[in-house]
Amino acid sequence: MTPLVTLTGDGTFRAPTPLEAARLGLPDDPHLAALMRLRSLLGDDVEEQIATRLYLPAALGTDETDHLLPATLALLAETTGDLVSYGWRLGPGMGRAWQHARELRARLLDAARIALLGYEGPLMTTALGPISLAGATFLNSGERTLADRGAVRDLPLLLAEGLLDHLAELRERVPGARPHLLLREDAVAGVHAGRISTPSGRRNYPAVPAPEIGMLWRSLVVALEDGGLEPGMITLGAGANLELLRAAQDAGVRRMTLGPRRMPTLETPDGRALWEGVAEARDAGCSFEIVVDPRPGGKLDPELERLLGIWNRLGYSDAEAAGCTLLANTGVSHEVHTGRIDPSTQPELSTLLDEGAIEGLLRVAPSWAERVSS
């Protein structure tokens, strides 16, 4: 039976503090403690028609290298770099911070062998996509990677190779896991609109056309599919833009995230065109995963009510929203998307999901399932 809704997170999870670990009877090791806690929350379906997708947290926030950007950089095949004064630099020589990011990934994989012993079910890996990496990292010259077209063209293949190696290691440690990949393109809107500033801050890098972005996504998708991942096993955060939506479709993407908070309303021409594009993509076989903020004050219910209201106005019933995925996020991706946060900025610990956020998602699931079952 197809579930009415599936619940998962954005690939982050704040590691329990020593006091929290002691209270919950968890081990001292933060990687092991986080995985055990996540398994207890998302390791089993909530009920028959409410499914969950357990994920391997790419960011625990234990230190400045334990975040999604360095975790993704640590995956890049045959690539080195370091954390310098202006951000994460790609280039010759592996610095201590880069090496530490790789060590953290290895520790997490080792922890998965223990915490997920005997687990059988979906297991998601999360990474930043190549467009966001290009806008968030720097070259030896101090320019962003976005300035070097050759380096940008290499990123999808380097990322795909690293991800496939990572998934192979994960399968060895958790044989019963069914892999799923979430590629977060938090900065794609800024890259596409030409909002990413140069190091001097006096100008922005030129806007990158949607077809060019689509070609980079296509390179990534083809490489991942050649490595054994089917289209349904890959979710892409393609942004809230009709050109990018169509570029993702042309690239072979069949699952995309949808952030109601960043989507324009039907009352504007651009908004109506985008929502109609979403409906057309859905009718063409694409699936959408809804990005929501389930924390207290996150206004989750109004967000979903607004989404269903727009869905109804497009001519669809509530029941036709059945089968979607709710993906928890604290809102940081929206801040990067709108340009309020530079993609190269070191994130605050508060931007990571915690136990309360996951519990909030679990609480809203029954009402959503009931709504779309009618």
Helices (H), the chain: 18-24, 30-42, 68-73, 96-115, 130-136, 149-173, 188-193, 210-226, 242-250, 269-283, 300-313, 332-338, 355-373
Q: Quote the DSSP letter at residue 142.
A: S
Tally Cβ neighbours within 10 Å of residue 270. Answer: 12
In this model, does residue 51 exceed pLDDT 70? yes
What confidence score (pLDDT) does residue 228 get?
Answer: 95
pLDDT, tens digit (0-9, with 9 covering 90-100), for 163-189 = 999 999 999 999 999 999 999 999 999
Q: How confident is the model at residue 58 (pLDDT cuts 50, 70, 90)?
A: very high
Q: In this structure, which long-range contacts are made by residues 195-204, counting pairs with CB atoms below 8 Å and at least 24 apart in sequence?
A: 195/339, 196/135, 196/144, 196/146, 196/343, 197/342, 198/143, 198/144, 198/147, 199/86, 199/138, 199/142, 199/143, 199/144
Q: Do 220 and 159 form a contact (C-beta atoms < 8 A)?
A: yes
What confidence score (pLDDT) does residue 222 get?
Answer: 98
What confidence score (pLDDT) does residue 9 get?
Answer: 97
In this model, does residue 304 exceed pLDDT 90? no
pLDDT, tens digit (0-9, with 9 covering 90-100), for 8-39 = 999 999 999 999 999 989 999 999 999 999 99
What confidence score (pLDDT) does residue 239 get?
Answer: 84
pLDDT, tens digit (0-9, with 9 covering 90-100), for 240-259 = 899 999 999 999 999 999 98
In this model, does residue 297 exceed pLDDT 70? no
What confidence score (pLDDT) does residue 52 get?
Answer: 97
Q: How confident is the model at residue 99 (pLDDT cuts 50, 70, 90)?
A: very high
Distance of alpha carbon 8 from alpha carbon 55, whole angstroms:
7
In this model, does residue 54 exceed pLDDT 90? yes
Domains in the chain (CATH in brackets) are 13-31+54-289+332-352 (3.20.20)
Distance of alpha carbon 352 from alpha carbon 299, whole angstroms:
17
Q: How confident is the model at residue 48 (pLDDT cuts 50, 70, 90)?
A: confident
pLDDT, tens digit (0-9, with 9 covering 90-100), for 305-324 = 888 999 999 999 999 999 99
What confidence score (pLDDT) does residue 230 get?
Answer: 94
* pTM listed for this prediction: 0.96
Q: How confident is the model at residue 83 (pLDDT cuts 50, 70, 90)?
A: very high
Distance of alpha carbon 96 from alpha carbon 81, whole angstroms:
9
Strands of 255-258's sheet in order across? 50-52, 5-9, 324-328, 287-292, 255-258, 234-236, 177-184, 121-128, 54-55
Q: For the chain, how long is the longest CA-to-CA vector?
A: 58
In this model, does residue 139 exceed pLDDT 70? yes
pLDDT, tens digit (0-9, with 9 covering 90-100), for 189-244 = 999 999 999 998 899 999 999 999 999 999 999 999 999 999 999 999 998 899 99
